[in-house]
Structure 1
Amino acid sequence: MAKKSNNGVGYGNPPLHSRFKAGQSGNPRGRPRGALNFTTDLKKILLAPVALNEAGRSRRVTTQEAALLRLREKALKGDVRALDKLLSYAVIMSGNAAEDAPKSPSIDDQAIIEAFRQQILAAATPAAPRQRDEEDGT
């Protein structure tokens, strides 16, 4: 059998010469102080100024504002996806989207819905078998 040494070396106890010294980091080249995370980088990029020409004049706006202006231009030119995105941003920012929506349909809408309901019910019910006319003889 192998003899066990009493010098404290083994699993979880490295030799004294290879242990970290007091006050020494185990990851000396780790994340530097002040390193930015994704959210901070995104905010910094969106707030960076860019130059854009509007009506022949140069103007400096934030990247975020320039992106929203581009989205607005696309929506006004007929891009349905851009319009949908712009309107969804407007609903989010208004904060009262639920308050703006009507609580119940108008009288005209109710009439249209009822007429459609009647059409659906008429189409869904099986037609009654036709009775033979006695006059036809069939």
Structure 2
Amino acid sequence: MSKRQRTGSPLGADESGSADYEVGYGRPPRATRFKPGQCGNPKGRPKKPKNLNDAVERELDRIIVVREGGREKRLTKREVMSRQLVDASCRGQLGATRLLLREMSSTAAAEAALSSNLMPASAQPIDATDRQIIASFAAMIRAGAQIDPAAALNARADDDDADASDEPGPQRQGLAASLPLPTCH
């Protein structure tokens, strides 16, 4: 078989304004060609999901059209699933009720843990140890002492290795030597 020969000149040879420019295979109209610097696929290839959880989350957030009571509503698949779960629980399906209660209790526990961590500092009580730490910092600032964070971290690491006695050893230097160990609330 022989190759098919193109007739005419290359794309850039003819001007769009010339009357003898022939539009055809491999020769699109000048107005519809890509401009310099313009890409034919600006968004590029869609990225594949990184893992199964990301793919499932993206699919649950996809919006679908649902007919409810003769009207069309746009809901996410997540909302449709939750409605179906609640409806099944209301119909007396014990498995749906167990799943719904388990999910509600785990969500409530997670929200309670999150809100306890986000409690403002003013809402947490200040005990004697906290007052002592604040007073020692204030005294150091008034005295013009320079705080060396590296010495404090090294002293803390040495304290962790030492025995549990409260006697300050020769390794306690810098900031850690003058401050009591913090306690958790």
Instruction: Please confirm whether the aligned pair reaches a TM-score higher than 0.5, indicating the same fold.
Output: no
TM (norm. structure 1) is: 0.42
Which structure has more relative contact order (CA 8 Å, sep 6+)? It is 2
TM-score normalised per structure 2: 0.32
